[in-house]
Amino acid sequence: MKLLKLVPDNTNIKFLKLRIPFFVVSIALIVGSWAAVMVNGLNFGVDFAGGQEVRITFEEREAAPIPSLRELVGGLGYGEPVVQEFGGPNAVSIRVALPEGAEDTPGAATAIGGEVIAAIAAQYPDARTDGNDTVSGKVAGEFRNSAILALLAAMGLVSVYIWVRFEWQFGVGAMFALVHDVSVTLGLFALTQMEFSLQIVAAILAIIGYSLNDTIVVYDRIRENLKKYRKMPLPELLDLSVNETLARTIMTSLTLFVALIPLLIFGPPSLFGMVAAITAGLFIGTYSSVYMAGPLLIWMGVTSDSFVPQESAIDRQEKIVRGEV
């Protein structure tokens, strides 16, 4: 049986030849992502904005009466609801934001949720409430804070770990790669206006973990090659390392990708955003391992001295004394 080889042996692609244009692209991506976040804003779900979201299935209907629902819920006087199909033509999610000034009323979201459900149940006897999420303004604020804290803590801690295990340049490189991954994922959500929820933050934290896998595998090979080829110019050595680990990078990304795709297609609709984020992060992370984490090492001047035990000053003196130098 002939085995599948996704990447031919001994590839020699000059990844880092284009490091400057690609680095410019990466920086542009980061800046552009933040611009998108500033301009479009993230479409915060109830987790982060507060308010209520109810999911309803109409058991005796082919399709959910979306326009009349919009009218019905809008008529309750809490502003324009977001009504969209969710998981099937006869199922919807209805989101009502917290009205102006209700951020500080702890029970407002729950009260609105109850009213929405009651109004729909009164009008449509076949409506089945599948889910109801209500979050008060205060709790939503706490979720926002803890999300930011968790992202910063995760990025900081893993960078410190890389610094300890490798060298400070590697830690900085990994940190920048992560900033890139997190920024671009946020930018994607700002552009597509997909709902940004707690699950998406969880997805980004998972992306941080898996993007680092790639970075670490490349870094580990760079470290090994630095010891092996002490005279090789750094760009060449980085290219060698990326090429040597290319088969692994492609294969691992592919296995995770083929595991995720069925979840996107057949999985529960409430997981779609999260899985989509992780799938996108898979590509973003692989890219950043090569084009963010790599070039930075060159510019920060990693040398093989970092990993090869150096002669200590005392050794040197002894040599001088013995007349060896």
With CB under 8 A as the rule, give the number of residues binding another protein: 83
Question: Minimum distance from CB of 159 to another protein (Å)?
Answer: 9
Assess contact for 226 and 76: CB atoms under 8 A.
no
- Structure tokens, 158: 């893993």
Which CB, 194 or 256, lies closer to another protein? 256
Question: Minimum distance from CB of 13 to another protein (Å)?
Answer: 16
Task: Indicate the burial class of 53 (C-beta count within 10 angstroms; 0-12, 13-18, 19 or more).
Answer: buried
Per DSSP bridges, beta strands 43-44 and 51-58 are unpaired
Question: Minimum distance from CB of 247 to another protein (Å)?
Answer: 5
Binding mask 11-50 for another protein (x = CB under 8 A): ----------------------------------------
Alpha-carbon gap, residue 304 to 226, rounded angstroms: 5
Which CB, 213 or 304, lies closer to another protein? 213
**Stretches 27-35, 65-73, 101-109, 227-235: which one binds another protein (CB under 8 A)?**
101-109
State yes or no: residue 172 binds another protein (CB under 8 A).
Answer: no
Rounded to the nearest 10 degrees, what angle do helices 137-165 and 168-192 cross at? 150
- Structure tokens, 262: 């069925």
State yes or no: residue 64 binds another protein (CB under 8 A).
Answer: no
Residue 156 CB contacts under 8 Å (≥ 6 apart), including other chains = 175
Alpha-carbon gap, residue 279 to 281, rounded angstroms: 5
State yes or no: residue 238 binds another protein (CB under 8 A).
Answer: no
Question: Minimum distance from CB of 92 to another protein (Å)?
Answer: 13
State yes or no: residue 89 binds another protein (CB under 8 A).
Answer: no
State yes or no: residue 55 binds another protein (CB under 8 A).
Answer: yes
The kind and range of the H/E element at 57 are strand 51-58
The only residue of 11, 68, 123, 146 in contact with another protein, by rule CB under 8 A:
146
